[in-house]
Amino acid sequence: MNIETRSGLSGVHPIVLFVGALIAALVVSRILGQPGLPLSGAFERGIGVIGLLLGGAIVSAAAARFRDEGVDPWRGEPRLVSDGVYARSRNPMLLGLAIAYLGAAIFLDSMVSVLALIPLMLVVEREVVETEERLLEARFGERYRLYRDNVRRWF
């Protein structure tokens, strides 16, 4: 496999995956008439807003590190960013998107959307993260393996 080759869902922008999954789950929720979450309205909205803000902040911090380094991950830039939020998580953008998704699902009072995050993350893990990690290891070799061994995938 050419290290520039992306297969499966790894070539799809993660925002498309998360927004698409949220919309699909909301549609299913409406069609099935599923109950909302067992939280009070104001508390639920507050938790949802916190999730959206926290997720957005994590995504922004991760994107800023790439921008500061002049790296465009969608062009296969030849640099490994491993500081800032990337020193805490190998996938801070995906983590931030997952937290924002959960915040939106809670804010929108959708139990189906909350539960849909589980299979979504399994797909993201298998089809996006594992593919990207193979590409990074092929490109950066020992440097990436050292980073991978010292920084957790998610938290």
Mean pLDDT of 7-33: 86
3-state SS, one letter per residue, for the chain: CCCCCCCHHHHCCHHHHHHHHHHHHHHHHHHHCCCCCCCCHHHHHHHHHHHHHHHHHHHHHHHHHHHHHCCCHHHCCCCCCCCHHHHCCCCHHHHHHHHHHHHHHHHCCCHHHHHHHHHHHHHHHHHHHHHHHHHHHHHHCHHHHHHHHHCCCCC
Domain ranges within the chain, ordered by starting residue: 14-29+39-150
When comparing pLDDT for 43 and 35, which is higher? 43
Average pLDDT, the chain: 89
| pTM score of the predicted model | 0.88
